[in-house]
Homo-oligomer: A and B are copies of this chain.
Amino acid sequence: MQRVTIKDIARLAGVSVTTVSRALNDAPEIHSETRDKVLRVCREQGYRANLLARSLSSSHSNLLGLVVPDMANPFHAALALNIELCAQEAGYQLMLCSSRRDDQRLENLFDFLYSQRVDGILLSSAADGAFALARRCLGQVPCVLLGACPSEDSPLRANTVSVDNYAGGRMAAEYLHSLGHRNVAYLGHRAGSSTHALRHGGFLSAAAELGMSVETVSSPFPSSTIESGSRLAREFLSGPLSQTAVFAVSDAVALGFIQVADELGVAIPDQLSILGFDGIEYAALPNIRLTTLSQNAPRLAQAAVRLMLELIDGGDQGMYTRTLITPTVIRRATCRALEPSEQVPSEC
């Protein structure tokens, strides 16, 4: 059970550990013959360097930490996958953790990653509480916030890469308006991450400019799940229906909504249009074909990893970057244009 170490290799190859180390890291100052000999012994012995020791000694681990709120959410899974891809290209391995949208757990994970001496930490779609973490780590370990960012007037300066949630909210209103909708609803959460605040804010602002009336239905729990969409739907659909369209804060919520609408016999999009946000693969399935604002996961991932790499080898100079990526409307089957005859003037 005793694993073979660099010392064993050194002994077997008749050289010093330093030389073995050099052969392993193909340093320039080693004779090619010695290197070949050493590497052969390594192969024969099935030697694997102990990365713990290596990281401890060299003080970098080639490891990036990534915390996602919910792996079961396809959008976050897709994002994680893309990040892993980019990281790997740059020679980094990913340490992927799921906070399960639990702030306490997020903090533990953050500490864990920090203690594990990862070279950088990516926080995906973190709730507002998490920003304090990012602040605590300033100057300690490079940190990139992904998919959610503190508001402009927050005292926290952080590196962020995110979809432009405010613009997305506006686009949602504009799109629904262009289809003739005037009385609409917003489905989201009161508490939690800025993501929802921004989408909501953008939606309200554009809706107001366009003279639309908006009813906000929101859950007190900060969670973007099918389950939460169902709950919101039950609440919203219990009364008489005066809206013609709904904008949901995420695709998962939209799917939960659709599920309940289906049960209650509300026809989509005939009686009610619904617009999601994220662009998850499963929402594109036939018979769902959710119309949505799509986040470009590969681009988000690439931007985040690139930024992280700069921070790592640029040495985190106390300079902050905020990257916003505009979402795009994916027209599918859950939103329809109102006939001129159906267009009621706004309630407000």
A286 surroundings in chain B (CB, below 8 A): 258-259, 262-263
- Least CB distance from A185 to B in Å reads 20
Residues of B within 8 A of A72 (CB): 74, 77-78, 81, 281
Is A161 an interface residue when CB atoms closer than 8 A count as contact? Answer: no
Closest partner residue, chain B, to A280 (CB atom): B282
CB neighbours of A285 from chain B (8 A): 226, 255, 258-259, 282, 285, 288
User: CB-defined interface of A61-87 with B at 8 Å, one 1/0 digit per residue?
Assistant: 100000000011010011011001000
Selected from B1, B80, B140, B288, the residue in CB contact (under 8 A) with A287 is B288
A52 interface contact, C-beta 8 A? yes
When distances are taken between beta carbons in the complex, the residues of chain B under 8 Å from A52 are 52, 55-56, 61, 116-117
Interfacial chain B residues near A111, Cβ < 8 Å: 48
Query: Is B48 in contact with A226, judged by CB distance below 8 angstroms?
Result: no
Whole-angstrom distance between the Cβ of A330 and the nearest chain B Cβ: 16
Interface residues on A, range: 35 or more
Interface positions, chain A 1-25, Cβ under 8 Å from B, are 1, 3
**Quick check: which of A95-103, A119-127, A176-184, A237-245 contacts chain B, the rest being far away?**
A95-103
Copies of this chain assembled into the complex: 2
Chain B residues contacting A51 (CB-CB under 8 Å) are 112, 115-117
Cβ contacts A290-322/B at 8 Å (1 or 0 each): 000000000000000000000000000000000
Are B77 and A71 neighbours in the complex by a CB distance under 8 Å? yes
Any B CB within 8 A of the CB of A53: yes
| Complex: A112 Cα to B139 Cα, angstroms | 28
Chain B residue at smallest Cβ distance from A1: B139
A323 within 8 A of partner (CB): no
Interface flag for A30 (CB, 8 Å): no
Chain B hits for A219, CB < 8 A: none
Least distance between A305 CB and chain B CB atoms (Å): 15
Nearest chain-B residue to A136 (Cβ)? B46
Check A71–B81 contact: CB distance below 8 A: yes
Measured CB to CB, the closest approach of chain B to A196, in angstroms, equals 22
| Nearest B-chain residue to A55, judged by Cβ | B52
Q: Which residues of B contact A116 (CB under 8 A)?
A: 51-52
Kindly state the separation between the CA atoms of A288 and B282 in the bound complex, as whole angstroms: 11
29 pairs from A and B in contact (CB 8 Å cutoff): A1-B139, A48-B114, A50-B56, A50-B115, A51-B112, A51-B115, A52-B52, A52-B56, A52-B116, A53-B56, A71-B71, A71-B80, A71-B81, A72-B281, A77-B77, A93-B112, A94-B97, A95-B95, A96-B96, A96-B97, A255-B285, A258-B285, A258-B287, A259-B286, A262-B287, A263-B286, A282-B282, A285-B285, A287-B287
Query: What residues make up the interface of A, taking CB atoms closer than 8 Å to B?
Result: 1, 3, 46, 48-53, 55-56, 61, 71-72, 74, 77-78, 80-81, 84, 93-98, 100, 111-112, 114-117, 136, 139-140, 226, 255, 258-259, 262-263, 281-282, 285-288
Closest 3 CB pairs of A and B: A262-B286, A287-B287, A282-B282
